[in-house]
Structure formats: C-alpha cells, structure tokens
Chains A and B, each alone.
Chain A
Amino acid sequence: MPGVQRTFYSSHFIWLSLLALFLIYLFSSLRVVSDITQFMPDDHRDKNVQLLLNELQQGSTARLLIVSIKGADTEKLADISRELKTKLTNTNAYSLVHNGQQTLSSNEFISGQYKELYQYRYLLSKNSALSKQELTSSLQQRLSELRAGINFFKETLSTDPQNHFLEYLLKLTQRANTTTHHGVWFDKHKTSALLLVELNLKQFDLDKQQYLIEEINETISDISNKHALNNKLQVDITGSASIAIKTRSAIQSTSKWLSGIALTLMFILFWWSYRSLHLFIIAMLPLATAIICALAVTNFLFNQVHGIIIAFGITLLGVCLDYPAHLFSHHAKDKNPQHTILSIWPTLRLGVITTALAYLAMLGTGFSGLSQLSIFAISGLITALFVTRWIIPYWLTSNDIQPNHSYLITLSRIQFSAKQKVYSGILVIVACSLMLSYNYNSIWSKDISDLSPVPEQAKKLDKTLRHAVAAPDVNHVFMLKNNNSELLLQQTEELKGKLQSLQERGIVKNIYAVTDFIPSKKIQILNQKQLPQRKILRSNLTAAASDLPFKTDFFNPFIDDVIKSKTLEPLDIETVLAMPLGKQLQQDLFFRNNEWVSIVRLSGIKNDVALQQWLENRTDILPYYLNLKQATSALMSDYQKTALFRLLLGAMIIFIILLIFRPKIRAVFILAPVLLAVLLSISIQVLLGTSLTLFHTLALLLIIGIGLDYSLFFDRKWVSNKDYLQRLHGIFIGATSTLITFGILSFSDIPVLSALGQTVSIGVLACFVLTFIFSKSNRNKSEYNI
C-alpha cells in the first residue's frame, strides 16, 4: 500500500504544518476585543449613535469606575473612602479619584495645577457679581467664614475675595452624587461609601485594567485590615473596564466548567457507544483543528476576533463532533476505514458545504460581527470536514463497532406514513403559529444590552451604582459637531441656553456641557466686557467694605487682577484641554474623525414623557438629540432584520443546492423537517418569554446546519438493516453530543450563551425527532440494493 502510505504522510504533513503555522500565528497576533461597538455595523446610517457608542466604550467614560464600599459603620466607611482616595491619588495609575471630599486649596491656585487657569478666572465665568451689592454680600460671607474659622482660602482672599475661581472648580465635583455624609459621598440610604475612579490608561488594555482593579481591591483590603474589619467590607466595582473584565472571566470560567463537564459527558457517551477511549480522542481532532483554524483565519482577515465570536463560534463548531461520529458509526471491523469514509463522504460533504454556504449568506451585511462569525464558522466547518476525511480514517483502528443497542432496534422499527408526516408537519406549523401570534409583540428584543455578553448580575450592579452616583444619563444626550472648535462652543452655549427651559420646568435636574468650563471666545470676550473699569471697581469695593473690618488697600491685588483680565487673550479649547482640568472634560468634548464633538448631558430626568413632548416641538433642538436607547433599538431591529433575511437566504441556498443534487420531492422532504424544527425552536423560546436577539437567529442557522446533516444522512440509501442501524447510531450520537454541549450551555451566566444553549438544545431535539419522522419510511433493504 505505498499509495496509501504516501497519502498518509502528505496529508499529515500538510495538517501538522498548517496547525503549527496557525498556532504560531495565533500566539503572536491574536487580538481579542470585547466591546460591543466592535460588533456594531461598519456603516450604520446614524453615525452619531456609533460615535457616541464608541466614546462610551472606548473614550474617557470607559475608563471610569464606580467603587462602592459597605459593611461597616458610616464613620469607618468615610475614613476608608478618604484613605483610599489618598492612596490611589498617590499613584500615577489613576488620573482622577473623586469621593466628594473637598480637597481644593488656595495653594493649587497660586502655585499648583490650576495656576495658569486661575489668571483667566474672570473670563471663564460670568462677572455680574462685581457691583457694590454683590461685593458687599461676598465680603460679608468671607467675614462670616473668618468668624467660623474657615479661612482655608486666605491666600487668595486678596486676589479673589468672591471665591470666583473656587465656585468655578466646584462645579466639577457637583456633577456626581449629591448625598454627602461625614464629608464623603454615600448612596442615598447612607450604607455605601461611593468613589469615582478614572484609570490612567491611554489604550483599552484589558489586562492592565484588570491589574488596576485588583490593585483597588487590595488597597481596600489593606485599609480594612488596618481598621480591624478583617475583610468584612463588601466592595463592588463597576464601569466599562470592570464589566469587560467580569465578562471575560465569566466567559473563561464558563468555558472551563462547560468544557470540563462537556468533555466528561462526551467521554461517557463515546464509551457507552463505542467502548473506546481511542475513538474519543481522535473524535476531538477535527474539532480542535477547526477551532484553531477558524480563529487564525478570522484574526487574519479582520485583524481581531471579537470575544463573543470566540465563545459563540467555538460552541457552533461543536457540531464538528458529528462528523467523526458518523464515520465511527458506519465503520465495521471487516471494512477498510478509507472505504467507510468514502461511502459517507458525498453525504457528509453535501451537508458541510450547504451549511458553509448558508453561513456565506451572513457575509457582506455591513455588520462586522456577522461577517466574523460567518468566516469563523465556514473555515471551522471545512477544516473539520477535511480532517475527518483525510486524517481520521488513518487513526481508525479495527474496532468493531456494533450499533446493536436495543434502543436503536426499537427506533428503527418506528415508521411513519406519508399522511402522518403531513399531519405532524401541519401540527407543528399550527402550534408554532399560535405560540408566535400570541406573543407577537415580544418576539424580538429591542434592548441592545441583550446582545451584550455581560453577566446579568454585572449589568444590575452597574445600573444601581450609576444611579447611586447620579451619573449623567447616557440615554439622553445632545451631540454637536463642528470642524471649528470656537463655532462648536458657541453652538453648545446656544443649545444649553435653549435647554434651560427643561430645568426651569423641573423636567430635568441638571444640564451639563463643556461650556460650563470652557466658554466660547465670544462669551469670554463678553465676560471681559462686563468687567468694570478700575475706578468703578475701586469705588464699589470701598463702598462694600466700608462697614467691614477689612483694610481698604488689602483688596488692591483683586482690582489689579480684574483690570489685567480685561487685556487677556481668550483661552481656546486646545489650551484648556492641555491643562490638568482638560482631563476632566474629555467626556464632554473630544476630537474624532477630524471634527470636534461636544456632548450635552442631562441628569435627574424626572419625566421621560414630558421630555419627549417638549422635544417634539423643538425643531431647532431635535436634530442634536440622541436617544441612545431608541437609536440602539432601531439598530437592533436593523441587525435582526438583516440576520433574518440572510438566514432565509441561507435556507434558499441550501434548498437550491439540494435541488441540484437531489430530486425535487426529496429535497423538500430533506429541508422541511429542518425548517419545522427551526420554527418549533423559536416558538418555544418565545413561549418561555425570551425575546429573540441576533444570536438566536444565528443559532437557527446552526440548527439548520445540524438538522440538514441528520436529514441528509437519514435520506441516504442503505444496503442493509445494519447499515441503517449504523447511520441511526451516528445521528443519535451526534444529536446526543450536541444536546449535551448546548444543554450545559443553557445554564451559563452569560445571556448570549445561555440563549444559544436553549435555542440549539430545543432545535436539535426537534431536528432529530422531525428528521426521523420525515425520513424514508420503508426500511426494506431490497428497495435499495446499492
């Protein structure tokens, strides 16, 4: 057999070389991304939504963490919050740590980080408070503070007796939580101390983020030990970075336990079916090769692989276990493995090619995620097919597989008449129609977060803590863009002015815009113009201080600074962003795609309906309004429609191919049970109260692939009852292994994976039953004497 040997060496050489090549490539270049925007369409009609989503996922907002500490009395918690702030601030790893503590000091204005900005204080905010009355009120306030012993800003008393600059900076800390207890932020129930921490990271580096979050936890643990709390504290951390890490670890742990349990059960299944460890090991070869190859090809073509695709794609490829199962079940001691594979090869090949082509329909949708998944599945399926065809038979020893289990014999005796097949088809259609029409409005999910692989608990925690710190609502924002930064600031000021009415009507609590901190040059010049002449200011000040104990010439530096401010050049965006304050404004103002973008946010929205009604009549404001929730719902809908359309297209492709290779009626009988199984699977999901997402649609494609495989094998001609039992055995093992994998997946914490698990489990069961019912009824070997 020199020819066989030559083929053995060449096939194994190619297989092992490619495997080594792919592994080297993956170790050096695999880039896993985990944010949902990577899964968004490349060319969505609403660029603004995409820009905002990108900013939320990758911008400064994404680096922000909310830390909640509870489990001790409030005084201790406040101490811990302060100590944590001090410790974190002392390292460079965190760019901002806010806990409500007032730590501004006049030294920072005179010689510290705000020195430069301090000179511009009379340009940056309104100066209507320089009249005699206002100055009197300010000076009396300072006197009252001196009586109370609060003279923390005595160094700037002579230059800024109104605390003009302090008031300006305080607006920054007022953007978050309002419940202050023992001098630090607490939730409204005063049980948890809250902090906002911004990670000092330029890149979205998950490992670095994980390290920094662990460092926060360790620091809190050290402080807790110091206070003899012995880890009694409960620390919760949320934020994009924290969620990404929780998701990654959830996926990792799910993968671990899932693969552990699945492997054990699979081993039991293979042992029960084939009584061979050897077969179990070689059955894993196509799957393992398929995963490696799929990862490498996807990463090569897209320069990255989405985390969801890895989790989802690998489970999709679980179907590859069916291929060696078919081979093992069809193999007999007296047969050459090469002959066995050749005997099932046309059916196996047709099944894989049609499924791969159905996945091809998911390409070119403009949704990068779908394209990645499509490539992942196609490359994986074809690799598994090749390995099953050219590698596995060489390792298939002379095991005599006797598929003579009594269940198979019982199953093989069950037959369905044509009438029964039609009735069962009608029954499925009617039942599904009823289920779907009854739950028509809740069939499709409208919430983009349903697409996210984030564990449910992490989502809940994030929502609670965001609410607790009163973080500005990300669902209602106004986005303005302009090439010219000055014009953008002017537009922002104009918009904010128009929005004030919402605040006055009590519909929203606060409106935040970057112009609160960097007014346009136009406004800065206006502020300059408001500044009085030296003579007038001196006269106002003298009058204001006349009944107060302050020395008359003490405030001369203040007069000098005001007069000097009149000649200062207004500040521009770039200068302010380069200052320390700039770091805190990045979520409101950023430069993307050669444009300046300004985001105006609302917080404390008391009435959503009133807000929508108010907006409806404001055509001058509406174009800037972005309702992220609505927009992403529309996006989801687009996504689902596209995926559903492509799914139907895939089914059409399969049908056309079947028509080429099989007679019309048989093509119908091959595809009908598969489609009915798909229908049954989604109907049961809807009946269980699950709103279908894109992933369900993709899972349906998987069901089609698996079902088609069963249907084609059932449709094969057989030469003997033993032959029939062998294929029934192969299909049964394939269905059971798929049920085991996806059944376990149903219990995953990750919504996407559990959805996939449930859908496919039901689908595969339905496929097995329906393809069995629709298979050829006459099992008399004389009919087919091939």
Chain B
Amino acid sequence: MITGKMNHIKHSIKIIIVLTFFFINLASASAENIIDFPELLNLFATIKQRTVDFNEEKYAFYLDEPIKTSGYLQFKAPDRLSKHISKPEKISQEINGNILTIINSTETYTVNLEDHPEFSVILQSIINLLSGNHSALQKDFKINFNKQLTDWTLVLTPRNSFVAGQVESIQMNGNANKLSKIIVTEANKDRSITHIYNHR
C-alpha cells in the first residue's frame, strides 16, 4: 500500500513536475517558442530597450592573468549600444551608428568603427542580434545555430578575410530572448568571455 501510495505520490510528483515544466514551457513557448534562428531574432526584435549586468574576463598571450571588468550594458533599438564599466575603473563606451565614443577618467576617444572592421564586427554582431537584424548577420558571418529547448548557442565566423585574420569566432549563448554569454576568440587564440545577467 505504502509502496502503492508512494508510487502514487511519485507518480503525482512526476505529473506535477512534468505539468510544471509543461506550464513553464508553455508560458515561455507562448512567447519564446524557438524553432529556428530567424524566430529567435524575431523575439529579440520585439524588445526595444534592455539593460543587463556583465562580468568580463580578457585572456591574452601577453597577460599572466586575465583582465577582469564588470558593469552594465544598455541597448536601445535599432543600433545604440553602450557599455559602462564600473570596476576596476569607470569607463563608458557608446556606439552611435559607426562612431564609438570611449570616456575614461582622463580622456574621451572617438573611434570610427569603419576604420577598425575587426573591432566593429564584434560590436555589430551584438547589436544585430539584439535588434534582430538577420540579413546584417548573414552578410558578415557564417552562422552556426544550435538549440536545446529554450537554450541556444550561436557561433558566428567572419566572412571577410581581413576580419577573419583578426577574429576567429564570436560565440553567444542564451536562453530564449536573453543573452547570457559572449565569447570572442581572436585569431591568435586570445579571447574574452562576457557573462551577462540580471536582465531588466
């Protein structure tokens, strides 16, 4: 009996768990039922503004230990992306069109991204993903998209040979329309890993 009761309880728990997952998935899937990459981009395109926190680690062959930074990122559709580093020092970066403005405690730099395609391509990949611009991503990268339920992994490989000589790949991970990690691997295997959380 007990066994039977236990079995019943186990069965009920299974049902509850399955139902819970079902309803959770149903809730997500109703908005975020990812079938393929274009659909994921459509989900991103619906959100016009978002702010997230990040932790970043940069690994380079000339560094003994990674350079660590943290702060928050802001995106405003269609192409405004800003990065505000708060630790270990305050640095803000803002992209407006082709112009990247960097402000640290002592100086303000203005960089025309067209002059630095290897740098531009990384930032543009994030902007184009967040704004759901499929054609722009397709133009710049070979796209490899994998999903498992609502989790997904996107690996972008630059098409331009000059850029490919600098940047090997940009990998982005996420769950539904939330980006959770960006790994940029340079041609010399230097890389940066950005963890993204606290979406708001």
Contact = CB atoms under 8 A, between A and B. Distances in A.
Interface of A: 75, 78-79, 82, 101-103, 105, 143-144, 146-150, 152, 157-158, 180, 182-184, 549-552, 554
Given A144-B89, A148-B91, 4 more contacts: A79-B98, A147-B88, A152-B111, A152-B116
A137 B102 CA distance: 19
Nearest to A86: B114
Interface centre among A82, A103, A147, A149 (most CB of B within 10 A): A149
Interface in B84-117: 85, 88-89, 91, 93, 96-99, 102, 104, 109-112, 114-116
A143 B96 CA distance: 25
A79 B89 CA distance: 32
Contact of B99 (A150, A152, A183): A183
B23 interface: no
Interface stretch (B42-50, B60-68, B136-144, B171-179): B60-68
Nearest to A553: B62
A152 B58 contact: no
B119 interface: yes
Interface of B: 58, 60, 62-67, 69, 83, 85, 88-89, 91, 93, 96-99, 102, 104, 109-112, 114-116, 119
B119 A183 contact: no
Contact of B62 (A101, A152, A158): A158
Contacts, number: 68
A150 B89 contact: no
A549 B66 contact: yes
Contacts of A105: 115
Given A551-B62, A554-B62, A82 B67 contact: no
Given A101-B112, A149-B119, A152-B116, A144 B91 contact: yes
Contacts of B89: 144, 147
B115 A103 contact: yes
A257 B121 CA distance: 58
Contacts of A82: 98, 112, 114
A569 B93 CA distance: 43
A183 B112 contact: yes
B100 to A, nearest CB: 9
B102 A549 contact: no
A158 B111 CA distance: 23
Given A182-B99, A554-B62, A148 B114 contact: no
Contacts of A75: 96-97
B69 A549 contact: no
A549 B64 contact: yes
A101 B109 CA distance: 11
A148 B93 contact: yes
Nearest to A76: B97
Contacts of A146: 58, 60, 67
Contacts of B96: 75
A105 B119 CA distance: 13
A75 B115 CA distance: 16
Nearest to B83: A149
Given A75-B97, A144-B104, A149-B93, A550 B63 contact: yes
